[in-house]
Amino acid sequence: MEALALERKEEQKRELKERIAQLKKERNAIILAHYYQRDEIQEVADFRGDSFLLAQKAASTDADVIVFCGVHFMGESAKILAPNKTVLIPDERAGCPMADMVNVEGLRALKKQHPNAKVVAYINTSADVKSETDICCTSANAIKVIESVDSDEIIWVPDKNLGDYVSKFTDKKVIIWEGYCNTHDMLTVKDVEEMKAQYPNAQFVVHPECRPEVVKLGDFVGSTTAIIKYCKESEHQEFIVGTEDGTGFQLRMDSPDKTFHFATKYLVCPNMKVNNLKKVVRCLETMQPQIYVPQQVADQARASLERMLQVK
């Protein structure tokens, strides 16, 4: 019975993938998937990446329709950068708690307290917050972005852990908002030390959204894309991974002969995991839910995102 159930499940998956391929062709659609998505989503994606790579792809694609398999702020960024495209998100409930930790009113109040500061916003923010921002960044380019800003004083929103990390690489004064990623912030020193004891030959690679005391333990610290690249190019064969577990798909694809242990079983973002193949099919069939951003907000936020994309 178990074998039959497994066979039926695989057959359903094949049928869904075939339907997705058909609908993509009919709609002239492209599927963008974040590295934290379920394996089945990453398997059908035309492009996998972190927030920065996906923003670049959304801005440059020739497709008429973008199916954004990520969380809501990512779909907003795609719509802002590609206003003439239809941007779909398979499940509009896919939010980001960290993005919700900063709002326009609070940011405006902080700007009044520091009138000479420029605002650098992590891309993990709403379109409304981006519209109040001088420039956006991702974990992949945050240090370069801060150094590119013509100000000695920076307001950083919303991730305090990433803010603490990047502040160590600049002489500028960084005023840090008190937000955090619920998933990365769960990882503790104890978790890492226990894994290091269990796998003494493994290197610890960690995302800077983790707590500062955890980041200090890293053999390598970097964005999701940087971690994947490092593990692929490294001579080491075994790694303890301190970022969301969906990254394992690309790590295993790029480095099939290497071994990866996630630093704790809790490194799972429930919001990233709400998307599935059935929802991708449904959104392509119905062309819903669509991402909408008011024009005035989009125009102001676009300037912030485009400045980020121009930083080399």
Give long-range contacts, CB 8 A cutoff, 24+ apart: 228-235.
Answer: 228/35, 228/254, 230/205, 231/205, 231/255, 231/258, 231/260, 234/203
The predicted pLDDT at position 1 comes to: 67
pLDDT in tens, 266-307: 999 999 999 999 999 999 999 999 999 999 999 999 999 999
| pLDDT at 312 > cutoff 80 | no
Q: Which residues are annotated as a binding site?
A: 34, 51, 96, 122-124, 139, 181, 207-209, 224, 269
Domain 2-95+272-293 shares a fold with domain 99-180: yes
Asked whether the beta carbons of 146 and 174 are under 8 A apart, the reply is yes
Terminal C-alpha separation, the chain: 56
Q: Tell me the DSSP string of 63-96.
A: -SEEEEES-HHHHHHHHHHSTTSEEE-S-TT---
**54-69: per-residue pLDDT in tens?**
988 998 999 999 999 9
Nearest alpha-carbon partner for 266 in 157, 213, 190, 196: 190
Strands, E, within the chain: which ranges? 29-34, 47-49, 65-69, 86-88, 118-122, 135-137, 153-157, 173-176, 203-206, 220-221, 238-242, 259-262
Q: How many whole angstroms separate alpha carbon 162 and alpha carbon 164?
A: 5
Q: Give which of 304, 270, 311 is closest to 136, Cα–Cα.
A: 304
Binding residues for [4Fe-4S] cluster: 96, 181, 269
Burial class (CB in 10 A: 0-12, 13-18, 19+), 252: middle
Say how far apart CA 216 and CA 187 lie, in whole Å: 13
Rounded to two decimals, what is the model's pTM? Answer: 0.94
In this prediction, residue 55 carries a pLDDT of 85
Instruction: Work out the average pLDDT over 99-120.
Output: 97
Which residue, 186, 139, 182, 188, is CA-closest to 164? 139
Q: Quote the pLDDT of residue 6.
A: 79
pLDDT (average), residues 149-177? 97
Q: Cα separation of 259 and 148, whole Å?
A: 38
Sheet with 29-34, side-by-side order of all strands:
47-49, 29-34, 65-69, 86-88
Q: Which residues contact 309 (CB under 8 A, 6 or more apart)?
A: 55, 56, 59
Contacts of 283 (CB under 8 A, 6+ apart): 67, 88, 89, 90, 289
- pLDDT, tens digit (0-9, with 9 covering 90-100), for 28-48: 999 999 999 999 999 999 999
Taking domain 184-262, whether its CATH number is 3.40.50.2000 is answered by no
* 291 Cβ contact partners less than 8 Å away, ≥ 6 residues apart: 68, 72, 75, 76, 78, 79, 87, 88, 89
**Rounded Cα gap, residues 128 and 121, in angstroms:** 11
Residues contacting residue 294 through CB under 8 Å, at least 6 positions apart: none
Architecture of domain 99-180: 3-Layer(aba) Sandwich (3.40)
Q: Which residues are annotated as a binding site for iminosuccinate?
A: 34, 51, 122-124, 139, 207-209, 224
What are the strands, taking DSSP E only, across 71-172? 86-88, 118-122, 135-137, 153-157
- In percent, how much of the chain has pLDDT > 90? 93
Residue 53, pLDDT score: 87
pLDDT band of residue 3 (cuts 50, 70, 90) is: confident
The residues near 286 (Cβ < 8 Å, ≥ 6 apart) are: none
| Residue-range domain boundaries for the chain | 2-95+272-293, 99-180, 184-262
Task: Answer whether residue 5 shows pLDDT above 80.
Answer: no
Pick the CATH number of 2-95+272-293 from 3.40.50.10800, 1.10.10.10, 3.30.70.260, 3.40.50.1010: 3.40.50.10800
Integer-rounded Cα Rg, in Å, for the chain is 20
| The amino acid at 113 | Q
